[in-house]
Amino acid sequence: MSFLNNLDGILERGKAKLKEYSKPPPPSPPHPNGRRPPPIPSSTKPRIPHPPPPPIPPRPSSTNFSYSPAYWQPTFHPSTPISTHFIHETGAHGWGNSESQNYTSALENSFPTPDGKLIIRAIAQNGTYTSARLTSHQRLSRPRGCLSVTLVPPCATGVWPAFWLLPADPFKWPEDGEIDIFESWNGDCVNHSCLHWGHYNGEDWNKHKVKDTPMEDMPHRPHVWSFAWQEEEGRMDGGRGRLMWYIDHVAVMKATIPRGTRRMEDFRIIINVAMGGNVCGGKLPADGVYDLQLSGLKMSDEPMGGWEQFEKDWTRAPEGKTM
């Protein structure tokens, strides 16, 4: 009987423990002031464009991204004149492409915003076309590095925005070289990555490298364009070095530095929005305002992920095609 009594006692204690663990958890203490924090407004959540664009292939998830400190990073604010960082190139002489705009230094065509952006504004109104073309005081200034910028460009018939590089004055075009990091025209929503060091004729057919990247959401959300360069004298392949174009940190084109072009240290930035001209097939934009929005402009010692990532990207990035 003592054994049965002991067994009954063990069972009763087990039931009591089971009831204890089955009780619902106590209510959480009230939030200070008796109120819970408000929900995150839906307007702050990222929005996915619809329909989604053809994707730029993502990097493998195992890639460790790292940012190199910037050696040049201009700030944009209404209290800082644009002339601190850029020269306004002005005029209405067609700019070698029969373009229709008059580039001005007027505040209505180029201005910084309080939230740190730079706006290049092209205006078409009653047959008059004005815009801005800015050239940086700063040159790339180093034998290797990376230039990056975040852009939201206009995409419309007759409009040709660009973010590109030319050597500092005086220079000889095209022999000294031209590098187009971003350009799109006629509302095609296609980025044209380009390297030019020859004329547009049959003789110089192989002195152009071009890669087109469709981007259907180009004018609707920011994208990051980057360009990395390495001057490498004495390469076994006889080249002078290597260049890489990136969109959203994905390598979209590679090229070797052509012999006879200017050293990369001498190149400076050009930002502009052209209208009409040969590239746009003579088409002009409808009356309206066309903004190229720029932020996050900087020059760094190395691309995102470092030069080790550059080497990996070099093995899989496509080469530009000749024209």
Which residues, listed in sequence order, are joined to residue 243 by a DSSP beta bridge?
229, 255
Helix, strand or coil for residue 41?
A: coil
Please report the pLDDT score of residue 233 as a whole number: 72
Strand bridging mode 128-131 / 159-167: unpaired
Domains of the chain: 68-316 (2.60.120.200)
- Contact at 8 Å (CB) between 213 and 190? yes
pLDDT tens digits for 64-84?
455 679 999 999 999 999 999
Beta-sheet strands, E only, within the chain: 70-72, 86-88, 102-103, 110-112, 118-125, 128-131, 133-139, 144-152, 159-167, 178-183, 190-196, 208-214, 223-231, 241-247, 250-256, 267-275, 288-300
Is the pLDDT at 36 greater than 70, yes or no?
Answer: no
The larger pLDDT score, comparing residue 1 to residue 230, is at 230
Is the pLDDT at 57 greater than 80, yes or no?
Answer: no
pLDDT tens digits for 279-303?
999 999 999 999 999 999 999 999 9
Is the pLDDT at 18 greater than 70, yes or no?
Answer: no
Percent of the chain with pLDDT over 90: 75
Residue with tokens 């760094």, as numbered in its chain: 300
Question: 67 Cβ partners below 8 Å, 6+ apart?
Answer: 300, 304
Please report the pLDDT score of residue 136 as a whole number: 98
- Contact at 8 Å (CB) between 104 and 90? yes
Please report the pLDDT score of residue 168 as a whole number: 96
For residues 78 and 278, what is the distance between their CA atoms, to the nearest angstrom? 35
Q: What is the residue-averaged pLDDT of the chain?
A: 85
**Any idea which of 5-14, 80-89, 161-170 has the lowest mean pLDDT?**
5-14
Is the pLDDT at 247 greater than 70, yes or no?
Answer: yes
Q: How far, in whole angstroms, is CA 209 from its chain's centroid? A: 20
Please report the pLDDT score of residue 68 as a whole number: 79
Our CA dihedral for 65, 71, 75, 80, rounded to 10 degrees, sits at 180
Q: pLDDT tier at 37 (50, 70, 90 boundaries)?
A: very low
Is the pLDDT at 21 greater than 50, yes or no?
Answer: no
Please report the pLDDT score of residue 51 as a whole number: 41
Enter the pTM of the model.
0.80
Is the pLDDT at 276 greater than 90, yes or no?
Answer: yes
pLDDT tens digits for 110-160?
999 999 999 999 999 999 999 999 999 999 999 999 999 999 999 999 999
- Contact at 8 Å (CB) between 218 and 191? yes
Helix, strand or coil for residue 158?
A: coil
Please report the pLDDT score of residue 182 as a whole number: 98
**Any idea which of 22-26, 262-266, 301-305, 309-313 has the lowest mean pLDDT?**
22-26
Is the pLDDT at 225 greater than 70, yes or no?
Answer: yes
